[in-house]
Amino acid sequence: MSLKKIVVIGPESTGKSTLSQSLANALNTLWVPEFAREYLELLGRPYAEEDLLEIAKGQLASEGALATNASGGLLVCDTDLNVIKVWSEHRYNRCNRYITEQIAQREYHLYLLTGIDIPWQPDPLREHPDEAMRQYFYSKYETIVAGSGVPWFAINGNEAQRLTKALESIQSMGWPGPY
């Protein structure tokens, strides 16, 4: 079986990292953390448009490195380059061509779209706590996954419910693994 990549995608503060890590643990495989967090924490200044390209390259490098060691034919990705594209277009009204080319070339097998039904968790790296902006970004990601041609599932509820729904979604794909 070739490697199946599962992407957890959604707006800020919707439990993506928690779900990605829990899902990888439940599946006995690896997860690719969101490179942007590490990059921005070390940056020491507000990010600029050119930083988004470096974040994209770092995300892809992390994904590539971890893909070689994933077990059970599954790799869980905490985000993909669509998130960087959405942020770039929102903030700068454009997106670097490298990023859009990589989005077109990458192959993913399942999207899990995290909902905004959990409370906002303050974090210095997060920018849009108001409900209208959370809904705006959710709609952006929903449009992306719905138009991707890749199966996707909406993931809502508390932490345990989200993990259960994610595991059920993966199981419904017919992929072998511990569910």
For residues 114 and 14, is the Cβ–Cβ distance under 8 A?
A: yes
User: According to the model, what pLDDT value does residue 145 have?
Assistant: 98
The rounded distance, in Å, linking the Cα atoms of 129 and 135 is 10
At a CB cut-off of 8 Å and minimum separation 6, what does 115 contact? 10, 14, 138, 154, 155, 156
Q: Mean pLDDT, consecutive 10-residue segments, the chain of 179 residues?
A: 91 94 95 93 91 97 93 92 96 97 97 91 60 93 97 97 97 79
Residue 122 pLDDT: 57
Class for domain 4-172, per CATH?
Answer: alpha beta
The residue extents of the domains of the chain are 4-172
The predicted structure's pLDDT at residue 2: 86
Q: Dump pLDDT digits (tens) for 18-37.
A: 999 999 999 999 999 999 98
Element (H, E) at 31: strand 30-32
pLDDT number for residue 168: 96
Angle between helices 81-92 and 97-105 (to 10 degrees): 150
